Amino acid sequence: MKQMKKILLIATGGTIASKYTDKGLSPQISAEELLSYVPEAREFCEIDHIQPFNLDSTNVCSRQWTQLAELIEKKYEYYDGFVICHGTDTMAYTAAALSYLIQNNLKPIVVTGAQKPIDLAITDARANLLDSLRFASHPKAHGTNIVFGGSVIAGTRAKKERSKSYNAFSSINYPDIAVIQDRRIIFYIDDKNHITDRIRFYHKLDDRVFLLKLIPGSSGAIIDSLAETTDA
């Protein structure tokens, strides 16, 4: 009998785990409750769960990125893959950060979420979570990827381009890693065997970095001002 993969579900909040309140959507659904909506996942993997924080993703930044990387490092030897439930607004940032904080990784780290909460009758959350667990259980899966709307996108290439559509994310200047259709995973890029270096975890990020988008007429004085408060 084929042994099932062991996956760790890491819940962090976001729309997928939210409920409607008087002040709008608020992350309230626990990791255990998220799993209760996808019971069929138990047919192809064993799942444990943990919840390091419970935030709207607009409040997720470098402190949470390093926290997630450290959590995965501590649990790495005990699991075959990791699925992170996350809000969509900063999901691409988290996926990119984890791609660089955890390098040469032969195990899958999947970041997913939803446009609508998982407890609604009509939602993309259950499909996205089930697809993510299925992909994380596949022997060819590795590295940090976003699984959303049936697409598997490299963590360093994902961009949220749509705020209402279920296919919210696109892969920029790079093909999708795979697509998931009818419980089948079709790989476009299969490069796991090309990784020869040992896994490496990094533990620090420099917050003193600023992204400046130049437009015609930008003053050079902006650069001089930024140089005083940033490292790059």
Q: In the structure encoding, which two tokens stand for residue 55, read together? A: 């935030």
Q: What angle do CA 84, 72, 19 make, to 5 degrees?
A: 25
Contact 60, 87 (CB under 8 A): yes
User: To 10 degrees, the CA torsion angle through 91, 96, 100, 101?
Assistant: -10
Euclidean distance between CA atoms 160 and 53, whole angstroms: 23
Three-state secondary-structure class, residue 8: strand
Locate all alpha helices (DSSP H) within 18-142, ordered by sequence.
Answer: 31-36, 62-75, 91-101, 125-136
Which residues lie across from 160 on neighbouring strands? 169
Determine the Cα–Cα distance for residues 148 and 159; give it in Å rounded to an integer: 11
91 token code pair? 């999901």
Q: Are 94 and 78 in contact (CB under 8 A)?
A: no
Q: Which of 15, 112, 144, 156 is catalytic?
A: 15
Respond yes or no: is residue 144 known to be catalytic.
Answer: no
∠ CA 119-120-122, rounded to 5°: 135
CB 169 within 8 A of CB 197: no
Residues taking part in catalysis: 15
